[in-house]
Chains A and B, each alone.
Chain A
Amino acid sequence: MSDHATPLAQARSDGYVTVAEDAPRDMIQLKGDLSDPGLADAVERIAHAAMPGPLGLSTSDSAWIAWMAPDELLISLARGQGADALSSLSRAMGDRHHLALDVSDMRAAIRLEGAAVREILAKVAPIDAVTLPVNTVRRTRVAQVPAALWLSGPRTAHVICFRSVGRYVFDLLSLSARRGGEIGAF
């Protein structure tokens, strides 16, 4: 057994939308002045993706950068790349006032697959899931806990939440995606 456990032990549930734990990834939380070109440069260099605009999520082959707040990014990298990326980032940021932390283990990541992914999001979050553009990050409330969610394509949604409530969110999404609950209004 690997020393690395994932929050949901690769849980998966097949309803009219599939709900499954996403593959584990490394994550870096960066707080700083997002308008600083030096910061953007440092971030783009480690993620090989463009600096996202407000609420945006930009991707490269192996990484994504999510805009989380006016002074905060979440950078996701392939498993194992986080530590090196964090040190390069810290070097590149130099004396700039910032906070960069390895938060790879802090969250549970859940993937939704199916034609009705927007409908499932709409059951649990007070957002306009119909007009949510692809690769736009919505930090919101999923039932009773905070979470961030976005669509990476028309049939794929991602929900990340704190690790401790991963099971709660998984159970909630699985129940919402259970067959018999199809709405078909969107």
Chain B
Amino acid sequence: MPHRLSRPGRRIDPARALHFTFDGAPHRGFAGDTLASALLGAGRILMGRSFKYHRPRGPVTAGQDEPNALVGLGQGGRFEPNQRATATPLFEGLTAISQNRWPSLEHDVGSVNARLSRFLPAGFYYKTFLWPASFWKKVYEPVIRASAGLGRPPEGPDADRYEHLHTHCDLAIVGGGIAGLAAALEAGRAGRRVLLMEQDTIWGGRTVTDGAIDGTTIDGLDPAAWVARAVDDLSAMDSVTLRSGLMGAGVYDHGYLTAHERVADDRPGADAPRHRLWKIRAGHIVTATGGLERPLAFAGNDLPGVMLASAVRDYVCDYAVTPGRRVVIVTTNDDAYRTALALLDAGVEVPAVIDARSQVTGALPTRVRDRGVEIVTGSGLRAEGTGRVERVLVCDVTGDGTPTRRIACDAVAMSGGWSPVPHLWSHCGGKLTWNDERGFFAPDPDRPPVGADGTGMVSAIGTAAGHMDAAACLGQADTPVTQPVERLPRPTWIMPERAGPALRSKMFLDYQNDVKVSDIQLAAQEGFVSVEHAKRYTTLGMATDQGKLSNINGLAVLSDAVGRPIPDVGTTTFRPPYVPISMGSIAGEARGEIFQPLRRTPLHDWHEANGATWEPVGHWRRPYCYTRDGEDIRAAVSREIRNVRENVGLLDASTLGKIVVKGPDAGRFMDLLYTNMMSTLAVGRCRYGLMCSENGFLMDDGVVARLSEDTFLCHTTTGGADRIHAHMEEWLQTEWWDLKVHTANVTEQWAQIAVVGPRARDVLDRLGGMDLSRDAMPFMTWSDGTLADLPVRVFRISFSGELSYEVAVPANLGRALWDRLLEAGADMGVMPYGTEALHVLRAEKGFIMIGDETDGTVIPQDLGLHWAISKKKDDFIGKRGQQRSHMTDPDRWKLVGLETLDGGVLPDGAYAALDDRNANGQRKTEGRVTSTYYSPTLKRGIAMGLILNGPDRMGETVTFPGTDGKVHTARIVDPVFYDKQGARQDV
């Protein structure tokens, strides 16, 4: 049984006890423990159940590659599922729950699946739930969702904060084992800017633990001392940044590397970012990511108590826990003998080492043999037991599994050999080569991922490059290393190699997804011979460990099944992140109030304090309307509209784009930008203009004011300011760079307030400072001056049909002007109005709105705006596009007004349907609604729409089926519903 040993563990501090709970039961561990080591220390090996068959599982590993011991950590807004107990540092108060079981981990109803396993082969779901299609949503999906799955998702919003960090370096080294440390020392001594990161909390990698077992020395020091010296030396270098607890997650183009840091996982509730995502730009990336030990595919290899040999000695040496009292070792290589030595040193019984090799003569096996342990050569085994391993049956490794002897034990340490960790090397296209002698894929230094300069941007070193001894990992010829020499392993993909179906269906390759040797063989038999297809069919390697344990064994089995060598079968694609990272860290700071930038006008605070209902317009927030006590939104909008028509309203128009275009060629440029002739606009006057894309489609509109002979001010829509400025710059910089024109987007320099309504002039006159009379300032003119002693630029333009002035004032004075207007107009009924009133007011006048009447497929001619398209100009952006046959087609949908026969409001976006049907049986359409409102002025619904030959069909009726089943009938009318003569705005 697992238990704590009375000996020191390298990582733990027995003087500091920590308390935690697992499935509600209190336990105790030590500082330095992981959750898994603490549970083992507490005598507990069952930590989870598998995904498909709900088989009981204990930890297989002692690190990030763990497929079994997945738990839910934390509570409430800090709950996180699928966390690896083997890589979760223990802290005081930790709460963990097991997953994928009901009602409890020990008694799980779902484990009946295990007994049905031969009815649940690879592709079972694909095969079974295909037909009938109607069953999918109501029957199959709910059942599958209820029974499958990993942990449950957290409830409620994440309670923590996260952040990013951008950092740059010459050399980023991922992995702080001896290879990474040695590379950092060398680069640091050369004065290079180095970032060395290690996912573990301590430095040195495997060599420290293993070296203490086998007596390795580096430069005359034991590995721990050498590592400590290296870390000290590196810490003293200014150009080197050392960071443990930082996991290199992904490599992307041009030396871009992401890394994940767990900042405050062990301090729930601390006022600190929980995780931090590092976004690193490295001149060169070195992957010193070490290796992963492979499990062995023998029957019963998923029983709790069966672990990787390296994990067993990590638990013994680092955490002073053992998975059992009698541990059988099964191996294909010399490395596993270190585990035997570690167990023997700790006083744990090792009844035998089962070695697949027929000749076992290496230095490490010899030491084990010398200590009286039997080595059974040329052999394999299977494990048996109920709920955990209780015995192994030894057999000939080349045979069919006939047992030759039986050994009682309570744990098995297995080693199928080591593979380099190639993930980061491969993320961005680094290629691998197959090492047949040792049975692994390793980075091919001749085919690295390429950086901006065309040379390799990633180098693999150490075990990650395929080196399996300390001297090669160090890569320093002048550093003396003593280490027992290892003999070659014997790659063994199935144990025993001629096992029959009964055994093969108990050999697990992917523990988490319950993919067995038999599943891969079935997939191959059914034609899934591509590794990527076989992966998806069987789910091999799709678990949260992403095939860290299963990859090579799975490939080898597939290779054998399809009769092609392993390098031909190839690997599945390695994708970032190396280990799952939190969604929170990816979002970083972008949540809550700063999820996205919120643009505020200079009057934002006033709006907020005065009942504004907000409407998002791009990133801006604009008041939709201002509700008063007892009013709903609809009543508020109606009041605001009536007040503009009857008295005077104020609109915050600050968001409208304002772009200055200046230069000797400004007139020429304006003529190219706008469909109208702008060069003839007189100084002091304004003109409404249209801008099209080169395709001919209408993209923006607004009023242009000529400020001086060589300067124009272009107003754009709220959403258009940045886009149109970029559009102008693009044409100036990339097509017409000979034009002498400068542009500047000065949108935010100005607060702009529209003063609109019959009493607009009265209010402004009361502020004093400018003659705004009809004669002094006619419609479509502008003027600089002061109002209430504030410097202003006044435009006499109207988007409502009423007498209207738009007053621009430097943004920091916007609030002052607004306050004065409200004060001056108090007895004239002045009140603010929002965007909905703005929309209705313009619709009553038949003015188009970009984004309502246009959608990127509409040309100005569709909207009856021929008058704004110059026929005199040789060229403007969009002119050629509008000459295409489809644009000049007389049968285009064109703008008209629509009046319902019953006075109701048409549904927005409704299509005008004909009785005829098209080839698909759908009703043909002849138009659609583009804007539709209730007009409080006219006390009826009004709408605009694009209708086939609309302008020629005045008085005809069209029908609009609504989504509610109701059919609306509307008459085609002139789009100007109110004050057709335009008398009101020109007073």
Chain A, range 148-186, C-beta contacts under 8 Å to B: 162-168, 171-172, 175-176, 178-181, 183, 185-186
Q: Mark B281-320, 1 if CB is under 8 A from A, else 0.
A: 1000000000000000000000000000000000000000
CB distance from A66 to the nearest CB of B (A): 15
Chain B residue nearest in CB terms to A164: B599
Inter-chain CA distance A130–B193, complex, in Å, is 11
Besides A32-B742, A104-B810, A123-B165, 18 other A-B contacts (C-beta < 8 A): A3-B816, A4-B812, A31-B742, A97-B664, A97-B740, A99-B663, A103-B749, A106-B811, A119-B165, A122-B166, A125-B166, A130-B168, A163-B811, A168-B599, A179-B271, A180-B271, A181-B273, A186-B241
Residues of B within 8 Å of A163, CB to CB, are 602, 748, 811
Question: Is B164's beta carbon under 8 Å from chain A?
Answer: yes
Residue of B nearest to A83 (CB): B791
A35 — which chain B residues lie within 8 A by C-beta? none
Report the Cα distance A165→B748, complex, angstroms.
10
Q: Is B596 an interface residue (CB 8 A)?
A: yes
Docked Cα-Cα span, A163 to B812, in Å, equals: 10
**In this assembly, does A29 line the interface, its C-beta being within 8 Å of a C-beta of chain B?**
yes
Instruction: Collect the chain B residues with CB atoms within 8 Å of residue A127's CB.
Output: 166
B575 part of interface (Cβ distance < 8 Å): no
Complex: A144 Cα to B596 Cα, angstroms: 7
Q: How far is the CB of B224 from chain A (nearest CB, A)?
A: 25
Could you list 11 examples of A-B contacts with CB < 8 Å? A71-B742, A99-B743, A128-B167, A144-B596, A163-B602, A164-B620, A175-B594, A180-B271, A180-B273, A181-B273, A185-B167
B594 to A172, Cβ gap below 8 A?
A: yes
The contact of B746 among A101, A178, A180, by CB within 8 Å, is A101
Provide the bound-state CA to CA distance between A6 and B811, in Å.
Answer: 9
Cβ of B790 < 8 Å from any Cβ of A?
yes
Shortest Cβ gap from B424 to chain A (Å): 20
- Tell whether A165 pairs with B597 under 8 Å between CB atoms, given A24-B812, A181-B273, A185-B241: yes
Residue of B with least CB distance to A122 = B166
- How distant is A133 from chain B, measured CB to nearest CB, in Å? 14
Chain A residues whose CB sits within 8 angstroms of the CB of B815 once the complex forms: 5
Q: Assess the A101–B744 pair: CB atoms within 8 A.
A: yes
Interface presence of A134 (CB below 8 A): no
Q: What residues of chain B lie closer than 8 Å to A106, measured between beta carbons?
A: 746, 748-749, 811
Complex-state Cα separation, A179 to B599, whole angstroms = 27
The total of chain B residues at the interface (CB under 8 A) is 50
Residues in A with CB closer than 8 Å to B742 are: 31-32, 71, 97-99
Q: Which of chain A's residues 20-36 have a Cβ closer than 8 Å to chain B?
A: 24, 29, 31-32
For the complex, is B598 an interface residue (Cβ under 8 Å from A)?
yes
Q: Could you say which residues of chain A place their CB within 8 Å of the CB of B272?
A: 180-181
The chain B residues found within 8 Å of chain A, CB to CB, are 161, 163-168, 241, 243, 264, 270-273, 276, 279, 281, 589-590, 593-594, 596-602, 619-620, 660, 662-664, 740, 742-744, 746, 748-750, 790, 810-816
- In the complex, A165→B618 CA distance in Å? 13
**List of A residues within 8 angstroms of B589 by Cβ:** 123-124, 143, 172, 175-176
Residues of the A chain whose Cβ atoms lie less than 8 Å from the Cβ of B660: 99, 101
- Point out the residue from B276, B279, B597, B663 that lies within 8 Å of A144, measured CB to CB: B597
Contact A31 B740 (CB under 8 A): no
- Given A98-B742, A101-B746, A171-B593, check contact A5 B602 (CB 8 Å): yes
Contact yes or no, A102 B744, CB < 8 A: no
Q: How far is the CA of A29 from the CA of B744 in the complex (A)?
A: 9
Whether A168 and B598, one on each chain, are in contact in the complex, defined by CB atoms closer than 8 angstroms, is yes
Nearest-Cβ distance from residue B778 to partner chain A, whole angstroms? 27
A contact set with B: CB distance below 8 Å: 3-7, 24, 29, 31-32, 71, 97-99, 101-107, 119, 122-131, 143-145, 162-168, 171-172, 175-176, 178-181, 183, 185-186
Q: Give the distance to chain A from B707, nearest Cβ to Cβ, in Å.
A: 11
In the bound assembly, the distance between CA atoms of A106 and B276 in angstroms comes to 33
Q: How far is the CA of A103 from the CA of B815 in the complex (A)?
A: 17
Whether the pair A5, B812 counts as a contact (CB closer than 8 A) is yes
A127 to B264, CA, bound (A): 26
**Bound Cα distance from A179 to B263, whole angstroms:** 13
Is the beta-carbon distance between A167 and B598 smaller than 8 angstroms?
yes
Structural contact, B662 and A143, CB atoms closer than 8 A: no
* 3 cross-chain pairs, A with B, having the tightest CB-CB distances, nearest first: A180-B272, A164-B599, A99-B742
Query: With A and B bound together, what is the CA distance between A167 and B812 in angstroms?
Result: 15
Whether B163 contacts A181 by the Cβ 8 Å rule is yes
Could you tell me the distance in whole angstroms from the C-beta of B302 to the nearest C-beta in chain A? 41
B264: which A residues are within 8 A, CB to CB?
180
Q: How far is the CA of A87 from the CA of B271 in the complex (A)?
A: 52
With A31-B744, A185-B241 in contact, do A165 and B812 touch (Cβ < 8 Å)? no
The smallest beta-carbon distance between B843 and chain A, in angstroms, is 27
- The contact of A105 among B599, B620, B662, B810, by CB within 8 Å, is B810
Chain A residue numbers with a CB within 8 Å of B241 are 185-186
Also in contact, A164 and B594, with CB within 8 A (given A24-B812, A123-B164, A185-B167): no
A125: chain B residues within 8 A (beta carbon): 166
Least distance between B148 CB and chain A CB atoms (Å): 37
Most buried by B among A4, A145, A183: A183
Partner of A126, one of B273, B279, B749: B279
> What is the CA–CA distance of A60 and B403 in the complex, to the nearest angstrom?
90
A161 to B551, CA, bound (A): 49
CA–CA, A105 and B812, complex, Å: 6
- Give complex CA distance A101, B662 in Å: 11
Residues of chain A contacted by B743 (CB below 8 angstroms): 99
Q: Nearest Cβ distance between residue B246 and chain A, in whole angstroms?
A: 9
Q: Give the complex CA separation of A97 and B742 in angstroms.
A: 9
Would you call B594 and A171 a contact (CB within 8 A)? Answer: yes
Q: Are B594 and A143 in contact (CB under 8 A)?
A: yes
- Are B813's CB and A4's CB within 8 A? yes
Cβ 8 A contact of B597, one of A97, A168, A180, A183: A168
Q: In the complex, what residues of B have CB within 8 A of residue A164's CB?
A: 599-601, 620, 748
Q: Do A123 and B597 form a contact, CB below 8 Å, given A31-B742, A31-B744, A32-B742? A: no
Contact assessment for A122 and B167 in the assembled complex, using a CB-CB cutoff below 8 Å: yes
Residues of B within 8 A of A167 (CB): 598, 600
In the complex, how many angstroms separate the beta carbon of B283 from the nearest chain A beta carbon? Answer: 11
> Which residue on A lies nearest to B272, using beta carbons?
A180
Q: Which residue of B lies closest to A127 (CB)?
A: B166
**What residue of chain B has the Cβ atom nearest to residue A131's Cβ?**
B168
* Contact in complex: B748, A107 (CB < 8 Å): yes
Q: For B791, give the chain A residue with the smallest CB separation.
A: A83
CB distance from B668 to the nearest CB of A (A): 14
Among candidates A7, A97, A123, A180, residue contacting B663 with C-beta atoms closer than 8 Å: A97
Identify which of B281, B597, B600 gathers the most chain A CB atoms within 10 Å of its CB. B597
- Docked Cα-Cα span, A163 to B281, in Å, equals 31
Instruction: Select A178's contact among B168, B271, B597, beta carbons within 8 Å.
Output: B271
Residues of A within 8 A of B812 (CB): 4-7, 24, 104-105
Residues of A contacting B813 with CB < 8 Å?
3-5, 105
> Complex: how many Å from CA A144 to CA B618?
14
Query: How far apart sit A23 and B750, CA to CA, in the bound complex (Å)?
Result: 19
| B168: A residues at CB distance < 8 A | 128, 130-131
Residue among B270, B744, B746 with max Cβ neighbours from chain A (10 Å) = B744
